[in-house]
Amino acid sequence: MSDRTRDRRAGDEATEVTFRGGGLALRSGGRLILLVCPLCSQRNASRGAERGICEWCAYVPSQDQAEPVERGSG
Ligand SMILES: [Zn+2]
């Protein structure tokens, strides 16, 4: 009879994702917030990030390519 903490949280919990090892984004509520562009490696502006579009090269990453960042290694 022990309470288990659920891994999945509904709300503003965001998952860090990369795109084939490049770039960095947050996946939150089915949206992608593009922080670092996997194509041009520029840090994205906040207005572009929220739209999931690179403000520098207009690259739009596909959610199909988004892979969760693995933690725990070194
Ligand atoms: Zn870019």
Quick one: DSSP state of residue 61? -
Q: Is residue 55 part of a domain?
A: yes
The letter for the amino acid at 22 is G
Cα 9 to averaged position of ligand 1 atoms, centre (Å): 30
Residues with CB under 5 A from ligand 1 (ion): 37, 39-40, 54, 56-57, 59
How many domains does the chain fold into?
A: 1
Strand partners, 28: 31
Inside any domain, residue 69 = no
Residue 30 has what pLDDT?
Answer: 85
Tell me, in angstroms, the distance from the centre of ligand 1 to residue 46's CA: 13
71 in a structural domain: no
Q: Is residue 4 in a domain? A: no
14 backbone dihedrals φ, ψ, rounded to 5°: -115, 145
User: Block means of pLDDT (10 residues each) for the chain, length 74 residues?
Assistant: 56 85 92 96 95 96 91 69
Residue 73 forms part of a structural domain: no
For residue 30 the two structure tokens come to: 């089915």
**Is residue 50, in this structure, part of any structural domain at all?**
yes
Q: Which domain holds residue 20?
A: 15-64
Q: How many CA atoms lie within 13 A of 3 on its CB side?
A: 1
Contact 37, 23 (CB under 8 A): yes
